[in-house]
Structure 1
Amino acid sequence: MFELDTMGEYLPFGLLVVDFKGKILYGNQVCESMFKVTSFDKLFIQHVLPDSNIIKVIKEGGLEITTCHTAEEMYVMNISLTSKKIGIMSFLPNDIYQKLASKSPKIIDLKQELQAIMNLSGELVTITDAEGIVLRVNNACEQILGVKESDFIGKSATILEKNGVIDASSTTHVIKQKRKVTMNQTTKSGRRLLVQGHPIFNDDGTLSKVINISKDVTEVANLQEKLEEAKTAINYYQQELSILQKKDQKMVVKSKAMEKVYELACRVADVDATIFLNGETGVGKEVMARTIHSLSIRKEAPFIKINCGAIPESIIESELFGYSKGTFTGANKDGKKGLALAAHKGTLFFDEIGELPFNIQAKLLQLLQEKQFTPLGETKPVQVDVRFIAATNRNLEEMVQQGTFREDLYYRLFVIPITVPPLSERREDIPFLASHFIEIYSQKYKQYKTFDKEVIQFFMDHEWKGNVRELQNTIERLILTAPVQHIELGHLPEKLVKPNDQNKQLVSEKLNLKQEVEQLEKQIIIQALETSATMKEASQKLGVDASTISRKVKKHDINVAKLHFLM
């Protein structure tokens, strides 16, 4: 269906879009006022205009003009779009109808109707095909652009931009990004335009046309204020993100890859089956788990996270299942309620489930199967009502083959698998994530900073080995350490911009071989820690024991807490 809703609100007359069954797909505000309704949702044309011939026109094709009486006598122009099985109804007061009739006494097809609508909008309207070739332009073309309509139609938007008719083409941006864009534009004659480019898609999702609506803001008295408003419109990423996100953590869902993941998460949120989240370190598995919890009927109950890689093996059983009074010497004398019981009626999230000790896996299996467990020092099992979500960046199937993870537990966890893709597969999310983090940390630290568009582009091109976590860490550091309010590409750390030159920078004529090796070792350890959730994970990446990492962290005086203050 044509996306007429944006154009419809610019029109001074009523506009309805109806399908072949008579269901009203769209009605602009003029029609809402005309028929005294607040919304056309779930309404049929038979409800609001029983005598309408639009269904007949849709079936038979062509165009028909009739009259109807609302608050005043109206001419109704019924047009059939047979390829779409829809019809367009234009409710024209007498003066507008006479204007249209004088321009084209025999209006017989949609092209003429569309041209009339475009001319009545009062602003520059252009329509191009999917390749950027101008198909149609209204009569404001020569006045605003200084180009005759005949010299404009049939030209490529890229050529028009190259020839200086406009300094930047909104059409090329829409074709490239496949979504609405808002931007400033300067014409060859020096006029300033605020342009909105709208994509129109075919039923199969391919781009069909691009509609550009340009508002001339040259003569605005306070040009600076209007330019700031335009800048706000261009940066609508942040505005749209703020509307979509609540104060609690939610997923940033803009890319097609994440849309599929989020759709599946929404579909299974209210199902009590165990969800298994898989993905690289830092992709947002915990945020996904919290989002699923907030979308479920358990959202008012606790969300309890257990990081299986962060709790020492010696106490993980007592932390998970609790213990009775007097079980341990030096422990809480009244006993302790475990995390499993703390999650009653809510969600129990096992992060880094692949790090769970083998001897605890059997008790967890019982908890998953029977929704009950036995605290340490007790003989009577405790029944709980919890929903389970597990997450890992490890290959549990390989661990099962290696005998380090129970096969029966693996299949009990692997009921609804959801893979959260890395940033390399959803680069479209990066501008929205960046805007989100900029807003959070600007408010948190009361340091309101902005990022140049070249910095955002750099973020999109950069290989984020630590995924969202690394991007988040980088933005917070820049908010805190950048010496300027508007952060440009030159303000980024050289280590981030030129990672390939890092080893060259480490070499200095003043250092001997031993110092060189130690310095390089320290940088490698820091990089591994920055892109890992736990010390154990960092040690696995480097192929050494966790104790070795701990010893070298102490040796090189590395502040682990500072590296992970965002994790």
Structure 2
Amino acid sequence: AIFTHDMRRYRRGLWQRMHDVPTLIVGPTGSGKELVARAIGLSRHIPFQSAGQRFAEDFREGVFALNLSALSSTLIESELFGHRRGAFTGAVGDRPGWLEVCPPLGTVFLDEIAEVDASIQVKLLRVLQTRTFQRVGDTQERRFQGKIVAATNRDLAAEMAAGRFRPDLYYRLCADVIETPSLAAILRDAPGELPALLRFLAARIAGEAEAEALAVAAERWIRERLGPGYPWPGNVRELEQCIRNVMVRGTYHPPRAEPATPRAGLADAFLAGSLTADELVRGYCTLVYAQTGSYLETARRLALDRRTVTAKVDRELLARLRDVTASERGRRKPTDGSAGR
């Protein structure tokens, strides 16, 4: 769902030229940038035959991923370009880099591209411009035959304005830009994606046999405790950890302020437009009933039939509303020393 539209471009008329075009994937941390890169790399830009439900050619995995933020400049050079024996301390033999090992139609994935320093940016620019490179300590020109896919969670326009990222490198990378939206944006636009995403992640965590039950339990916990308006600051990565916590401990504590109250959660979901019509009616009937304590009065206020109100009141939400109300009353109750003042 995140990248279906973009992926179709790799399976149409220009597929045979896409290995010459670098791809830049931008999006917040945990939004699936590496999954998009691997999907592009594993497709090898080979057309998909819908009639036979298979690719037009066989291929083997050829995605070489490198997290640039985790390595020093020297190690990045060695890993990418390779090195000659004696090029630096510890270089005891000739070693090819990933640009050299990458086969035709293979993919080198450069994660956190905005973290590299100026010297590496210059060398990457040369690879993109000429499709050639040199091993560290060597003068022989070698040819890169694969595709470059880069990713970042930074605002590259701001990085260029601050002088930390070369504009010419950006303009070489931006021929094909894919944006991975945040999980909150995905669920705001398509609330129905949550059950399918939970099912997929639950299968990866607990296996197919336990996936359905775990997904249902996680979805119930999320709707009851976090509410539809929860922003998911950690995106899909946070959702996966939420599922793990629900499986192991039966609960999850977000790395933020206390979860929204039931009223605040409903209000956030209403403003975000992420509630279905039935969820909206159930939530509003429950809120009004929590105030009135009467089905008849609730039906009168909402201009609904009493049977409808009775059927729509959510017992679990009602219990949580009453817990919050009791807690608020307890906090407002005067102490013995202040009662007589």
* 1:106 alignment counterpart: none
Preserved CA contact (<8 Å) 2:65 2:108: yes
Would the aligned equivalents of 2:41 and 2:62 in 1 still touch at CA under 8 Å? no
Q: Answer yes or no: is 1:423 the counterpart of 2:186.
A: no
Q: Residue 23 of structure 2 corresponds to which residue in structure 1?
A: 275
Match of 2:200 in 1: 436
Q: Report the Cα distance in structure 1 between the residues aligned to 2:165 and 2:255, rounded to whole angstroms.
A: 40
CA distance in 1, matches of 2:109, 2:170: 15
The Cα shift of 1:449 comes to 5.0
What displacement does 1:402 show? 1.5
Q: 1:387 aligns with which of 141, 147, 153?
A: 147
Following TM superposition, by how much is the alpha carbon of 1:418 offset from its aligned partner in structure 2, in angstroms?
1.2
Determine whether 1:496 maps to 2:262: no
TM-score w.r.t. length of structure 1: 0.38
CA contact (8 A) 1:371 1:386 kept: no
Match of residue 373 from structure 1: 133
Residues 1:316 and 1:445: Cα distance change in structure 2 (over 3 Å): farther
Cα 1:447/1:400, change in 2 over 3 Å: closer
In 2: Cα distance, 1:397 partner to 1:498 partner: 29
Relative contact order: is structure 1 or structure 2 higher (C-alpha 8 Å, sep ≥ 6)? 2
- Out of 450, 469, 474, which is 2:237 matched to? 469
Query: What is the CA-CA distance between 1:446 and the residue it aligns to?
Result: 8.0
Asked whether the equivalents of residues 302 and 344 of structure 1 are also in contact (C-alpha less than 8 Å), the reply is: yes
Contact 1:442–1:448 under 8 Å retained in 2:
no
Alpha-carbon contact 1:431-1:460 (below 8 Å) kept: no
1:456 is displaced (CA, Å) by 4.8
Q: Describe the shift of the 1:389–1:460 C-alpha distance in structure 2 as closer, same or farther (beyond 3 A).
A: farther
TM-superposed CA distance for 1:381, in Å, is 0.9
Name the CA distance, whole Å, in 1 between partners of 2:137 and 2:229: 55
Deviation at 1:395, TM superposition (A): 1.1
Give me the whole-angstrom Cα distance separating, in 2, the residues matched to 1:465 and 1:279. Answer: 12
* Distance change (3 Å), C-alpha of 1:327 and 1:476: same
Query: What's 2:7 paired with?
Result: 265
Segment drifting more, 405-414 vs 454-463 = 454-463
Distance 1:311 1:497, change over 3 A: closer
Measure the CA separation in 2 of the matches of 1:369 and 1:308: 20
* TM-score where L is the length of structure 2: 0.62
Deviations 1:231-287 (A, max 9, x none): xxxxxxxxxxxxxxxxxxxxxx2xxxx3xx421222135322111111111100100
More strand by share: 1
CA-CA distance at 1:445 after TM superposition: 11
User: Which amino acid counterpart does residue 439 of structure 1 have in structure 2?
Assistant: A
How far apart in 2 are the matches of 1:416 and 1:265?
11
Tell me the secondary structure at the aligned position of residue 282 of structure 1.
coil
Shift of 1:317: 1.1
User: What does the per-residue CA deviation read over 1:59-95, in whole Å, with 9 as the maximum and x for residues that have no partner?
Assistant: xxxxxxxxxxxxxxxxxxxxxxxxxxxxxxxxxxxxx
Preserved contact between residue 274 and residue 416 of structure 1 (Cα < 8 Å): yes
Q: How does 1:92-103 map to 2 (within 5 A)?
A: none
Q: Which one has a larger percent helix, Structure 1 or Structure 2?
A: 2
Alignment partner of 1:410 out of 154, 158, 170:
170
Letter in 1 for 2:7: A
Aligned equivalents of 2:61 and 2:207: distance in 1? 29
TM-superposed CA distance for 1:447, in Å, is 9.3
Gaps of 5+ in 2: 47-58, 261-341
Check whether the contact 2:42–2:61 (CA below 8 A) recurs between aligned residues.
Answer: no
Contact 2:131 2:145 in 1 (8 A): yes
Among 454, 462, 470, the alignment partner of 2:220 is 454
- Matches of 1:466 and 1:330, distance apart in 2: 39
User: Which aligned pairs between 1:219-258 and structure 2 lie closer than 5 A?
Assistant: 253=1, 258=2
Partner Cα distance (1:385, 1:342) in 2: 9
Verify the 8 A CA contact 1:322 1:337 in the aligned structure 2: yes
Unaligned runs of at least 5 residues, structure 1: 1-252, 483-490, 503-567
- Aligned Cα RMSD in Å? 2.6
SS at match of 1:464: coil
- The 1:312/1:459 distance shift into structure 2, 3 A limit, reads farther
Between Structure 1 and Structure 2, whose CA radius of gyration is higher?
A: 1
Distance in 2 of aligned mates of 1:500 and 1:296: 45
Structure 1 residues 439 and 375: CA distance shift in structure 2, 3 A: same
Question: How do 1:343-354 residues align onto structure 2 when only pairs under 5 Å count?
Answer: 343-345=102-104, 346-354=106-114
Report the equivalent of 2:161.
Answer: 401
CA shift in 2, pair 1:440/1:323, >3 Å:
same
Matches of 1:497 and 1:303, distance apart in 2: 33
- Distance in 2 of aligned mates of 1:440 and 1:371: 38
**Matched residue type, 1:337:** P
Correspondences of 1:539-558 after superposition (within 5 Å): none
- Residues 412-439 of structure 1, C-alpha deviation per residue, up to 9 Å, x if partnerless? 0010111111111111322211111111
Residue identity opposite 2:99 in structure 1: A
Q: Residues 382 and 467 of structure 1: is their aligned pair in 2 closer, same or farther, counting only changes over 3 Å? A: same
Tell me the secondary structure at the aligned position of residue 309 of structure 1.
helix
